[in-house]
């Protein structure tokens, strides 16, 4: 019986599967870092798409808190508590914003309404001038270039351009009209900014503790690079836009151009999109100048000089000094991000485009550094690490 019992026991032991202890340490598919972060990114994009209609005041409040956090830190260093620093900063900001709105909004609104009413007349007069002056030169190219054909083509082109501009303005306006309305934007944004600004440092510290310790140095370095890229570009480019807007507006007013202040400020504000602001202002100002000053080419040249000097000022003085080259945001990549996020998420997408573009740029450069140091590129079995090991 003992031998039989021993044989049976031995057989049972042999039949039991032997699982190595290392197998229990293998991560599940969702526990792998790449799968986890790709899933988190997909959920983030889905959330943006689903809730894009109500995110505007919260995104605006987050952006406002981000911009004002350095000011709050400076006030803390001179003796203010975080709460009182937040109260003072937001109070001054809201006061300046309301005063600017009360002073500039009526002027801009009336000018914009007047300009919109006169755009068809300007377009028709410009079309007539182009047909009258351009037809003799075009007829030398052949019999197909007749005044009716040229006039119809120009009319279609100008009509499509005006319709496109109207569609863009309507899309931006409808995108900003969230479910809670423009009034809630004015009310909710300061509240969100207040709470975020009070707890900003604590939130950053808490997020830092959530990072796995072995990845913490890498994540901190990436976060610093992203912060420098976003803050450097937005703060610097905002100053560039304001200075360019003032330059264009004052220059066009001195030229005596109709709606010069409106066109100049518009060109300066949308200079946030590389080349788009200057080209838009140049086309609008030149068209109005031709209609207004024809045949005085001196004044048309003065209007052109305002924009060319503004481009020289931006490219050689303002952008190198205020924005710099270290942020790594290529103009083409920035334009793509603005149009792509604007098309996907409306006005909220425009607010998120620059931070997302800067973040993707920093991560892409980091991935490129890792690739250049990897065995795939170097051919060595073990490449030296890019970052120092954890302490």
Contact criterion met (CB below 8 Å) for 303 and 255: yes
Any domain includes 181: no
In a domain, 320, yes or no: yes
Residue closest to 212 by CA, chosen among 11, 20, 31: 31
Note the pLDDT tens digit of each residue in 289-326.
888 887 778 888 898 999 899 888 887 888 777 776 54
Domain of 318 in residue numbering reads as: 214-391
Residue 85 domain-assigned (yes or no):
no
Tell me which of 15 and 281 has the higher pLDDT. 281
Quick: pLDDT tens for 74-106. 999 998 898 999 999 989 988 988 888 788 777
- Which parts of 140-179 fold into alpha helices (H)? 147-176
Is 195 within the bounds of a domain? Answer: no
In a domain, 280, yes or no: yes
**Can you give the pLDDT at residue 137?**
59
| Selected residue with higher pLDDT from 371 and 113 | 371
Q: Are 57 and 189 in contact (CB under 8 A)?
A: yes
Residue 379, exposed/middle/buried by CB under 10 A (0-12, 13-18, 19+)? exposed
**Which of 359, 363, 338 is CA-nearest to residue 273?**
338
Task: Provide the 3-class DSSP secondary structure of residue 52.
Answer: coil
337 in any annotated domain: yes
Please report whether residue 118 resides in a domain.
no
- Cα distance between residue 207 and residue 204, in whole Å: 5
Number of structural domains found in the chain: 1
Output the six-digit token pair for 131: 């047909």
User: Does the residue 287 lie in any domain?
Assistant: yes
pLDDT for 8 beyond 70: no
Which residue in 240, 315, 250, 246 sits closest to 271, CA to CA?
240
């Amino acid at each position: 019986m003992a031998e039989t019992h021993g044989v049976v026991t031995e057989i049972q032991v042999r039949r039991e599967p032997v699982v190595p202890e290392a197998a229990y340490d293998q991560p599940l598919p969702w526990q792998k870092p790449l799968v986890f972060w790709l899933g988190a990114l997909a959920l983030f994009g889905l959330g943006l798409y689903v809730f894009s209609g109500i995110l505007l005041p919260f995104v605006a409040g987050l952006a406002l808190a981000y911009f004002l956090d350095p000011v709050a830190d400076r006030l803390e260093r001179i003796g203010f508590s975080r709460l009182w620093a937040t109260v003072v900063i937001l109070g001054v900001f809201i006061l300046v914003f309301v005063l600017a709105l009360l002073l500039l909004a009526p002027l801009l609104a009336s000018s914009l309404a007047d300009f919109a009413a006169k755009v068809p007349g300007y377009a028709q007069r410009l079309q007539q001038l182009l047909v009258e002056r351009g037809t003799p030169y075009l007829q030398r190219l052949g019999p197909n270039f007749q005044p009716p054909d040229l006039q119809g083509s120009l009319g279609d082109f100008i009509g499509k351009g005006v319709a496109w501009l109207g569609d863009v303005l309507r899309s931006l306006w409808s995108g900003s009209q969230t479910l809670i309305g423009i009034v809630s934007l004015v009310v909710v944004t300061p509240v969100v900014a207040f709470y975020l600004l009070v707890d900003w440092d604590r939130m950053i510290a808490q997020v830092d503790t959530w990072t796995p310790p072995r990845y913490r140095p890498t994540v901190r370095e990436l976060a610093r690079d992203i912060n420098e890229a976003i803050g450097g570009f937005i703060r610097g480019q905002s100053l560039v836009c304001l200075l360019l807007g003032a330059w264009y507006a004052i220059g066009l007013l001195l030229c005596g151009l109709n709606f010069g202040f409106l066109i100049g400020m518009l060109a300066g504000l949308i200079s946030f999109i590389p080349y788009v602001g200057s080209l838009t202002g140049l086309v609008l100002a030149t068209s109005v100048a031709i209609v207004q000053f024809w045949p005085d080419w001196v004044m048309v040249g003065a209007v052109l000089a305002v924009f060319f000097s503004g481009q020289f000022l931006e490219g050689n003085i303002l952008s190198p000094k205020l924005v710099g080259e270290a942020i790594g945001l290529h103009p083409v990549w920035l334009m793509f991000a603005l149009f792509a996020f604007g098309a996907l998420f409306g006005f909220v997408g425009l607010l998120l485009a620059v931070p997302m573009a800067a973040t993707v740029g920093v991560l892409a450069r980091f991935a490129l550094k890792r690739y250049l140091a990897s065995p795939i590129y170097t051919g060595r079995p073990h490449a030296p690490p890019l970052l120092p090991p954890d302490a």
